[in-house]
Structure 1
Amino acid sequence: MAASDATQHASRTVLVTGGSAGIGRAVIERLLQDGYDVVNFDLKAPVECLPGETHITVDLGDVDATRQAAAALTAERDILRLVNNAGTVRPALLEDATPDDLAFVMALNIQTPMVLMQALLPGMRRSQFGRVVNISSRAALGKTERTVYAATKAGLLGMTRTWALEMGGDGITVNAIGPGPIATELFERVNPPGAPQTEKIRASIPVRRMGTPADVAHGVASFLDDRAGFITGQVLYVCGGMTVGLGNAA
């Protein structure tokens, strides 16, 4: 058995950022069902830690705190799978966006994935195996009032492709998910079920329903699989078909 094959079976821990709610929570639930152990880096604790989940309180917008948490984790466990899910948004038209908005959103959406990848890369290279999934957004294709957010999510796609090229020879795959309109708690606070604007969004989706966090989690789980070793540098839009046509609802 090759060294990489042995490692795949020996290490079943996934690091997920922002896993206490929303899409991140669904990802953790799915990965636990698939037999992984999961470490959840999130400033906020989940309502309840699930069997197989370890929550570690980390301010992911703080570089030093993120590096320290990653160093402590990798000293204890082999972390060969990473889901960069944590993110934030500050909606604004271009004329209202500020440098402070850009710095704030960049810190979590771009800087944190880079810092964590740097921390985990040596172990992945030693093992000649790794699976990385970056959660981008359909907004990377363009969306009104998202100058800052779209820039960071598009930047994450550029990082995904670059890392795939740099790390492919080490058995490390790097892919991205681009969620479209997903019915998270945050989304539904802004777009209540049954409201006219919500129905307009739903009608614009080719499959005629909102996405669920579990839909995104399924894509993540697929990329993390041991058998996904020939898929890298790709973006999977989990959007109900919206990226096929036109629309600005998601």
Structure 2
Amino acid sequence: MTETTTPARRVLVTGGAAGIGAAIARRCRDEGMEAVVIDRAGDGIIADLSNVDSTAAALEQALAGGPITSIVNNVGAVFPAAAEEQSLAELAAAWELNLRSAMQCTQALLPSMKDAGFGRIVTISSRAALGKELRSAYAATKAGLLGLTRVWALELGQYGITANAVAPGPIATELFAKANPADSPRTQAIIDGVPVKRIGTPEDVAHAAAYLLDERSGFVTGQTHYVCGGVTVGLSRV
């Protein structure tokens, strides 16, 4: 009798070479999935996800290895600036990387998901979508991701596909450090304002993403899961 093995479920993680994305990719592998990473660095598929053509080429390469039925839209950048100083170029860059790439990558995988009658879309938004100083471009695009998530949940549920968002609060990553200098009083105020009295870790976010990627989470869709140490309590609607 010949034993057969079921191929590991493939999950695409954008921006998975470092920080939250790398933690999610590791967690996916720990859960028995094959994590396909697209990033501008690292040992995965190298691409500039802020560029439409580069993104398309990377997606073609990813799908050449077989169907992909799960995605974590993680890649993003902050572009911190006051409202009157936020340039239109920065707004356009935030749109391309934070939001357009999520749309393009998800669209590319939908045929695989529909063929399988199963799909998991997890999009990394941010607590900043509720509003945060110096985050015009970032908050706008991260809020846009919540809108996409809700639309996808309504449209795709009939195919066995769920769509959910994870909205991290302050997480100890290189991206957070660049936007929030350690010696800034504003940064200390952020830390002091976390009810659990610590900054989150990439693994905290990966744990939430793993739950939403799980095959057993099929009755959870269109939701935003805040991973923020309680920062959003009193700010978001019940």
TM-score, scaled relative to structure 1: 0.87
How many residue pairs get matched?
230
Partners of 1:195 and 1:32 lie apart in 2 by 37
**2:81 is matched with which residue?**
92
**2:3 is matched with which residue?**
none
Determine helix, strand or coil for the equivalent of 2:217: coil
Question: Aligned AA for 2:22?
Answer: R
Question: Aligned AA for 2:15?
Answer: G
RMSD of aligned C-alpha atoms?
1.8
Among the aligned pairs, what percent are the same residue?
52
Cα deviation, 1:194-233, whole Å, max 9, x if unaligned, reads: 8755443222111111111100000000000010100000
Partners of 1:158 and 1:66 lie apart in 2 by 22
* Pairwise CA distance, 1:10: 4.5
**1:59 is matched with which residue?**
48
* Pairwise CA distance, 1:117: 1.0
Partners of 2:139 and 2:153 lie apart in 1 by 21
* Pairwise CA distance, 1:31: 1.2
Cα 1:105–1:197 shift into 2, 3 Å: closer
**Structure 2 regions of 5+ residues with no counterpart?**
1-5
* Pairwise CA distance, 1:11: 4.5
Match of 1:31 among 5, 28, 31: 28
Partners of 2:13 and 2:94 lie apart in 1 by 19
Determine helix, strand or coil for the equivalent of 2:172: coil
**Structure 1 regions of 5+ residues with no counterpart?**
1-8, 50-54
Determine helix, strand or coil for the equivalent of 2:215: coil
Question: Aligned AA for 1:80?
Answer: T
Partners of 1:181 and 1:72 lie apart in 2 by 33
The answer on whether the counterparts of 1:11 and 1:79 sit within 8 Å (CA) in structure 2 is no
Cα 1:95–1:191 shift into 2, 3 Å: closer
Cα 1:38–1:222 shift into 2, 3 Å: same
Please say which of residues 180-189 and 120-129 is displaced more in the overlay: 180-189
Partners of 1:16 and 1:174 lie apart in 2 by 15
Cα deviation, 1:57-91, whole Å, max 9, x if unaligned, reads: 01101111211221232233110010000001211
Partners of 2:130 and 2:121 lie apart in 1 by 22
Match of 2:113 among 124, 134, 149: 124
**1:52 is matched with which residue?**
none
TM-score, scaled relative to structure 2: 0.91
The answer on whether the counterparts of 1:138 and 1:237 sit within 8 Å (CA) in structure 2 is yes
Partners of 1:76 and 1:184 lie apart in 2 by 30
Question: Aligned AA for 1:234?
Answer: Q
Partners of 2:231 and 2:138 lie apart in 1 by 19
Partners of 1:11 and 1:27 lie apart in 2 by 16
